[in-house]
């Protein structure tokens, strides 16, 4: 939120030369009440719960009282120009840099408004009170706008920074994931090529290994190749935006157990316990695979 210069503020808050004259007309009353303002504002600040975070001792709080009293008198004395805007903005920046909550600022301005209205009621002619209050409200509103705009600008900057970081992280994560997916597909293709070569070698060595061992070994490799095809298809579908089916992972486990069962039949020393466990696992995985596949369809 760009608050602009004082000329812009005058237009925005309908602050006229008459308002300037009205404020200067009650400057003497403000000066007479400055000591009272300083005392009551000090008491107002002392009631804020976190005030000691910003003013750890009375000396620092009293120094602030002097500065706020100077600001209070400037409300009525001016000069009302761009230098005044810079002056108020410097106060706003000090608030932000010291971490003063924005509601402390608005609460303090409400106190100032009430004090000024009371001061006008006590010191001004009844016929002038309405005009003086209007002008006072306008200058306080202008100050409130300038004092809070700095907080809002910092909030917007933080939000934009977080969005930029978040967007950067998301873009990096997507690209990194795409690279990993490409590497995964390439790896699957290379493994599939290796398995295909193993199948060919097993078939060419049937005479050396024996028909039974050669064929069973080739079938085991074919099952593994089938698994690689399933995994590759699943990964390609995932890259196209489709969800990964759970049945694909169960199918991998199922084929692994089937291959183990085939290999165990080739073993000279039979381990019937292991074979029985493998068969039961195949049965359970087969049922699970069928149920999940049916649900996915």
Q: Report which of residues 212 and 44 the model is more confident about.
A: 44
Please report which confidence band the pLDDT of residue 4 belongs to, taking 50, 70 and 90 as the band edges.
low
Structure confidence by residue, pLDDT tens digits, 99-111: 777 788 888 888 8
Look over the chain and give the mean of its residue pLDDT values, rounded to a whole number: 78
Q: Is 99 left (phi over 0), alpha (psi -120 to 50) or beta?
A: left
Query: 172 phi and psi, to 5 degrees?
Result: -65, -45
Opening angle at CA 282, ends 276 and 286, nearest 5: 150
CA atoms of 262 and 216, how far apart (whole Å):
7
Mean pLDDT, residues 20-46 taken together:
87
Mean pLDDT, residues 41-54 taken together:
76
CA atoms of 61 and 46, how far apart (whole Å):
9
DSSP letters of 15-35? --HHHHHHHHHTHHHHHHTHH
pTM: 0.51
Give the pLDDT score at 200: 81
Give the pLDDT score at 1: 41
Please report which confidence band the pLDDT of residue 2 belongs to, taking 50, 70 and 90 as the band edges.
very low
Please report which confidence band the pLDDT of residue 154 belongs to, taking 50, 70 and 90 as the band edges.
low
% residues pLDDT > 70 (the chain): 85
CB 91 within 8 A of CB 72: no
Structure confidence by residue, pLDDT tens digits, 169-210: 777 787 888 788 788 888 888 888 888 887 787 777 776 766
Mean pLDDT, residues 90-116 taken together:
84
CA atoms of 182 and 188, how far apart (whole Å):
10
**Closest residue by Cα to residue 119 from 25, 45, 43:** 25
**Closest residue by Cα to residue 139 from 41, 14, 275:** 14
CA atoms of 20 and 136, how far apart (whole Å):
9
CB 38 within 8 A of CB 65: yes
> Domain spanning 6-165: which superfamily?
Globins (1.10.490.10)
Mean pLDDT, residues 55-63 taken together:
76
Mean pLDDT, residues 158-177 taken together:
73
Structure confidence by residue, pLDDT tens digits, 130-144: 999 999 989 888 888
Give the pLDDT score at 277: 79
CB 103 within 8 A of CB 54: no
Structure confidence by residue, pLDDT tens digits, 230-278: 777 777 777 777 776 777 777 777 777 777 776 666 555 556 677 777 7
């Amino acid at each position: 939120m760009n608050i602009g210069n004082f000329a812009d503020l005058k237009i925005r808050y309908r602050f006229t030369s008459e308002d300037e004259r009205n404020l200067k007309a009650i400057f003497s009353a403000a000066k007479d009440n400055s000591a009272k303002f300083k005392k009551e504002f000090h008491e107002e600040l002392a009631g804020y719960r976190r005030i000691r975070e910003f003013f750890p001792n009375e000396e620092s709080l009293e120094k602030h009282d002097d500065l706020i009293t100077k600001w209070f008198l400037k409300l009525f004395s001016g000069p009302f120009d761009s230098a005044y805007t810079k002056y108020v903005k410097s106060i706003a920046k000090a608030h932000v840099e010291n971490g003063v909550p924005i509601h402390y600022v608005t609460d303090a301005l409400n106190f100032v408004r009430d004090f000024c209205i009371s001061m006008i009621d006590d010191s001004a002619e009844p016929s002038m009170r309405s005009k003086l209050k209007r002008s006072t409200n306008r200058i306080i509103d202008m100050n409130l706008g300038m004092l809070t705009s700095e907080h809002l600008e910092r909030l917007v900057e933080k939000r934009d920074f977080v969005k930029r970081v978040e967007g950067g992280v998301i873009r990096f994560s997507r690209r990194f994931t795409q690279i990993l997916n490409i590497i995964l597909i390439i790896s699957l293709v290379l493994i599939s090529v290796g398995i295909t070569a193993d199948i060919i070698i097993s078939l060419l060595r049937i005479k050396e290994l024996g028909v039974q061992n050669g064929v069973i070994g080739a079938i085991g490799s074919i099952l593994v190749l089938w698994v690689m095809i399933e995994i590759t298809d699943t990964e390609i579908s995932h890259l196209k935006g489709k969800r990964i089916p759970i049945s694909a992972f169960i199918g991998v486990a199922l084929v692994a157990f089937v291959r183990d069962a085939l290999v165990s039949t080739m073993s000279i020393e039979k381990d019937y316990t292991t074979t029985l466990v493998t068969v039961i696992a195949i049965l359970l995985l087969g049922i699970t695979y069928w149920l999940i596949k049916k649900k996915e369809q």
